[in-house]
Every structure is written in C-alpha cells, then in structure tokens.
Amino acid sequence: MSVTFNIVRSRPKIILQLGAILLLPWVWAAFVMPLWASGVCAALWVVAFRFAVHLFVVPRFKRRRASDSSLTPEQIIDMRAPTTGMFTIDPQTVRGDLDSLHSGLRRWQETSIVSSGETATARDCVGEVISQTERAVLALTLSFRGITTKTRQQMETAMSLLKRSAEQVNISPGGWLSLPDYIHAYEMQLLEVVENMVKFSGSSDEMLQHQTKIREQSVLIDELLDELRSMATRIGRLALDSSMVAGESGKHRDHLIELSDSIRETSNKTFDLTRTVRKSLETIRDELVVTYKVINKTAVIAKESAQRAKADVAQLNITMIAKTREVEESLSKINSLGGAIQQDVNNAFIAMQFQDITQQQLEHMRGNVLADVVRTMDTLSVETQEMMKKEIFLDIQADAKRLNVSLGDRPRAALDANGAAGASPSATEVELF
Amino acid sequence: MANILAVEDAATMRQVVNFTLSDAGHTVVEAANADEALAQVAKSEFDLIICDVNMPGRNGLELVKLLRAMPNFRFVPILMLTTEHREELKAEGRAAGATGWILKPFDPSVLLDVVKKVMR
C-alpha cells in the first residue's frame, strides 16, 4: 500500500496517464449507460487501476530503486526527506559551522597558493630537465658518432689489407703492398731461389759427367803412354841390335854405332818422359777422383737442399695460404660485425629520437598542462578568497535564518521524495527540486 | 650527392638527421625554425627539404606553403618528419604540397631509402 502511495507521490504523471487510459473505455459510454452499470464500471476501474499499477509500474520502480542500495525505497525516502529539526537549528550552531567552513576555505586557499608555487617550480624543473637531457643526448650523439666513425675507419683499413692492388706487377721499391701482394711477391722470390738451386744441382750433374769423360780420356792417354813406352823400349832394343850389327860390318861401323847409340838414348829419354807423363796423369787422376767425390757430394747436398727448399716453399705456401684464409675469414667476420654495428648505430639513432618525442611531451606538459594547473590554482585561490569575504557569510546566515522560518512550517510529506532539500548547501536551490 | 635542408626545432633530432644524411655523403644545412629555413632558402639552392611539423612560430605546413609559393622550390621534394600520425594532418600536408610524411622515430636506413627515392 505504501509502495503504491509512494509511486503516486513520485510519479503522478504516469499514474494519471494510466488512470486516463483505463477510464476512456467507460467514459465514452457513461452517458448512455444506466446508473448501476456506471457504478460497476467505476468499481472495476479501481480494481483495474490497482492491477495495472502493480503489473507495469511497481516492478520498474523497484528495479530502479534496487540500484541505489540495499535499502528499501521507503528507507531511501525517509533518509532523503529533510527533518523538521534541521530547519530549527540554532543560529549559533550555524555560525559555528560557518566558522568551520571559513577556516576550511582558508586552509584550502593556503594549500592552493602553496600548490601553485610548487607547480611553478615543477614547471621550471621540467624545463631544466628538457635542457639537460638535450645537452646530454647531443653530447652522446657526438661521442657515439665519433666511435662509429673510428670503428668504420678501422674496419675499412683492415679490409684494404685484402684488396689486391691492380698495379701489383710494377710495385715501386719500398712502396705499399697489400697482404695478398706481399704473399705473392714472397712466394715468387722463394720459387726463384728454388729454381736457382735446382739449376745449380743440374750444373753439378753436368760437371760430373764432364769429369767422367775426362777420366775416360785419361785412361785412353794412359793406354797411349803404355803403347809409347812399349814402342820406346822396342826402339831401344832395335838401336842396340843395330849397333851390334854395325860393329860386325866394316866400312860405316863407327858411324852406325854412333847413330844407334843416339837412337837408344832418345828411346831412353822417351821412356823416361812417358814415365813422367804417367806420373803426372796419375796425379791428375787422383785429383780428379778427389774432385769428383767433392763435386758429387756437393751436388747431392745441393739436390737435397733444393728438394727440401721446394718442399719447404710448398709447405710455406700452404701455411701462408691457410693464414691468408684465416685473415680473410677474420676480416669477413669484421665486415659482418661492421654490418651489425651499423644496425646497432641505426637502433641507437632511433633510440635517441625518443628523447625528442619525450621532450615534446615534456614541453607540452610544461607549456600547457603545468601552466594550466598554475592558472587554475591561482584562480581557485582568488575565488576562495572571494568566498571568504564576510558579506557572503553574513548572507548565508541571513538565508539560513530565512530558511529556518520558511521551511520549518512546511509539512514533511509535501517535500519531493527524490529531493534532498535539507542536504543542499544553497537554500534557494530547494525550489528547483 | 644532394644538398639538403633539415628544418627541426629539436637540436638532437637535427643532429640525428644531419649525421644520417652526411654519413651517406649528402650535404646538410640545419635550420631550427621556419624563419631560419626561409633565410637559408633565400641564399642557397637545395635539392631536398626535410621539415618537422610542430615547431615554434610558423609550423611545418605553413613553411611548406610558403616554399611552394616560391618559383625555385615549386618542384623541390619536401619531406615532413613528425610524430603526428593523424590522417587529417597528413591530408593537410599533402594539400600544402609535401612530398612525403615520415613518422618519428625513424630508422636512418629508411630515411636514406626515402631520400634516394624522392631524389630520382
């Protein structure tokens, strides 16, 4: 019952519309109907009205009230309704409340002044932060660029070691050589040395062959000497025989003996000479044997040295090629690292740009937000100061007194169920609800 | 290599743009605002202009309009380098005569690619 009453009180328009809708079917025929039928219709209208209110209006009303709190609509209405006692507060109490309000406003004003000053300080600090950050990032960027430039130069210098010069064939003495050029030149020099050693070894072999031929010739000479010696012996014997024959002959005996003696003497001399030549030949042969042994030994050493040198050069070349490859690989790694460094540089440059974006945001905060805050705080301070003026408080006191009189006589039920007249700080606002 | 004018109010960003482009062999002249940029274009010829949008005084779009009104800079490519990504602002830039719109933060290699592309 009380719910229906509350609904009627809070939603009179809806209730009137609903009543009118239910009344219409009877009203148009009321003039032609008998009185008893009109009475039945009136009774039915009351029943239908109650039924319609409970069916359509009450559930919506309850739903809406349910969101307010767990309190029943009656409790909410009771709480919102102004008490009669509130409007009968003693003016002295109102004065005390106003003093409290005054001191509260004073504190608020003081706080807003302090906050305004602090916000201005914060604004200056933000400006300083922007300036310092910019200087720091500028210095960082410069240093970073210096590092990257030097790193790139190092990398380029290292990579140039591998570049084969186009004019490597005609390199001036003392001129700059790249690493591959140097290796190539060294390799050519070593090959030349090995070739010379091989040539020397070949010459030794040739010399040995000549020596062998000389030895063969000396054997021939030896044989000729033997023949010559035998011929000289035979001539000596023939001369002796001739001398003996000449002694037996008469007429030219002396002359023939003299001749045969001369021949024998010459034969003996020839024999002696062949012996001397043989001795010389034997000496030469002995010397040749010694020379042959020495040359042979030298040739063997030279040959072995040449072969060893050739093997060493080959090994050295293999090692140098391997080393060159290692250097190439290392430099390739350096090169790829250079690419990675470039990527890092790009990333660092991107990161440095965030400083600019942050700076823009800070500038916005400093120029707009903080400036607005300072302005707002100043305005609040001024307005609070205005509110603290005594005339306003006197007006409020006067209004409170008037309110006490005007509202004290009003019946509680006449107040709007949804209104919070008593809660409103402004007495004149009560009429709006 | 190109002669490029970089108009940017933030010193760090100017420096990053300068380093990126000068490392690639371009000649870069810096301007901190639109007025400095106008002073630079009055005394030198540029092959490309890279310009920020939000700057104190005249903004980047106003500068673009002024440059496009000059006979020497009617066909010079102008790239906008900004944090602004609003479509209406981009449309405004396009209408003013900007050639391209690069969002910050930018990758230096991307900037170089774009510069190469617009310089063809």
- Residue B34 binned pLDDT confidence (cut-offs 50, 70, 90): very high
- Residue A236 binned pLDDT confidence (cut-offs 50, 70, 90): confident
pLDDT per position as a tens digit, A376-396: 878 877 877 777 776 666 677
pLDDT per position as a tens digit, B35-63: 999 999 999 999 999 999 989 899 999 99
Q: Is the peptide bond before A25 cis (omega within 30 degrees of 0)?
A: no
Phi, psi of B51 (to 5 degrees): -135, 135
- Give the amino acid at A215: R
Q: Does B85 touch chain A (CB under 8 A)?
A: no
Strand-pair partners of A409 = none
Q: Does B19 touch chain A (CB under 8 A)?
A: yes
pLDDT per position as a tens digit, A409-426: 444 433 333 333 333 333
pLDDT computed for residue A417 by the predictor: 37
Q: Distance between CA atoms of B120 and B118, rounded to whole angstroms?
A: 6
CA trace torsion A421, A427, A431, A432 (10° rounding): -80
Token pair of A277 as six digits: 């030549």
| Distance (Å) from the alpha carbon of B81 to chain A's nearest alpha carbon | 11
Q: Does B3 touch chain A (CB under 8 A)?
A: no
Highest mean pLDDT among A25-34, A75-84, A209-218, B110-119: B110-119
The domain of A213 spans 179-331
Higher pLDDT, A432 or A235: A235
- Residue B30 binned pLDDT confidence (cut-offs 50, 70, 90): very high
Instruction: Parse chain B into domains and list their residue ranges.
Output: 3-119
A145/B16 Cβ within 8 A: no
| Distance (Å) from the alpha carbon of A348 to chain B's nearest alpha carbon | 10
Which of B9, B19, B50, B83 to mutate to probe the A interface, most A CBs <10 Å? B19
- Could you tell me what percent of chain B has a pLDDT over 70? 100
In a domain, A409, yes or no: no
CB contacts, 8 Å: B15 with chain A = 138, 141-142
- Residue A251 binned pLDDT confidence (cut-offs 50, 70, 90): low
Q: Does B108 touch chain A (CB under 8 A)?
A: yes
- ipTM for this prediction: 0.75
- Nearest CB to B104: which of A134, A137, A357? A357
Size of interface A-B (CB pairs under 8 A): 50
- Nearest CB to B16: which of A134, A353, A357? A353
pLDDT computed for residue B100 by the predictor: 93
Highest mean pLDDT among A84-88, A180-184, A266-270, A394-398: A266-270
- Nearest CB to A134: which of B11, B19, B105? B11
> Quick check: A116 pLDDT over 90?
no
B11/A346 Cβ within 8 A: no
Angstrom distances, CA of residue A34 to CA of A21, A39, A360, A405, B114 = 22, 9, 87, 54, 97
What does the DSSP 8-state code read for residue A432? G
pLDDT computed for residue A390 by the predictor: 63
- Nearest CB to B16: which of A134, A352, A359? A352
- Residue A350 binned pLDDT confidence (cut-offs 50, 70, 90): confident
pLDDT computed for residue A432 by the predictor: 24
Q: Give me the mean pLDDT over the A224-236 stretch.
A: 81
A354/B12 Cβ within 8 A: no
Examine the fold and report which residue of A59, A87, A108 is the final residue of a domain before the chain moves on: A59
- Find, among B4, B37, B29, B10, the residue nearest to B104 by Cα: B10
Instruction: List the single residue in A with minimal CA-CA distance to B104.
Output: A353
Task: Provide the domain count of chain A.
Answer: 2
pLDDT computed for residue A41 by the predictor: 84
> Strand B27-31 and strand B3-7: pairing?
parallel
Q: Distance between CA atoms of A262 and A259, rounded to whole angstroms?
A: 5
- Nearest CB to B12: which of A345, A350, A356? A356
- Residue A126 binned pLDDT confidence (cut-offs 50, 70, 90): confident
pLDDT computed for residue B25 by the predictor: 92
In a domain, A247, yes or no: yes
Q: Which H or E run includes A18?
A: helix A12-27
A360/B12 Cβ within 8 A: no
CB contacts, 8 Å: B12 with chain A = 134, 137-138, 141, 352-353, 355-356, 359
- Residue A175 binned pLDDT confidence (cut-offs 50, 70, 90): low
Task: For chain A, give the mean pLDDT.
Answer: 72
In a domain, A399, yes or no: no
Instruction: List the single residue in A with minimal CA-CA distance to B111.
Output: A346
> Quick check: B92 pLDDT over 80?
yes
- Residue B101 binned pLDDT confidence (cut-offs 50, 70, 90): very high
A138/B20 Cβ within 8 A: no
Q: Does B109 touch chain A (CB under 8 A)?
A: yes
Task: For chain B, give the mean pLDDT.
Answer: 92
- Nearest CB to B12: which of A134, A145, A350? A134
In a domain, A238, yes or no: yes
Beta-carbon contacts of A401 under 8 Å, excluding residues fewer than 6 positions away, are A91
pLDDT computed for residue B17 by the predictor: 92
In a domain, A83, yes or no: no
Q: Does B82 touch chain A (CB under 8 A)?
A: no
Higher pLDDT, A147 or B33: B33
> Quick check: A21 pLDDT over 90?
no
In a domain, A183, yes or no: yes
pLDDT computed for residue B51 by the predictor: 95
Q: Give me the mean pLDDT over the A98-105 stretch.
A: 78
B16/A357 Cβ within 8 A: no
pLDDT computed for residue A428 by the predictor: 27
The CATH number covering residue A230 comes to: 1.10.287.950
What CATH topology corresponds to B3-119?
Answer: Rossmann fold (3.40.50)
pLDDT per position as a tens digit, A38-83: 888 888 888 888 888 888 777 776 666 555 556 666 666 666 555 5
pTM for the full predicted model: 0.50
CB contacts, 8 Å: A137 with chain B = 12
Highest mean pLDDT among A7-11, A153-157, A248-252: A153-157
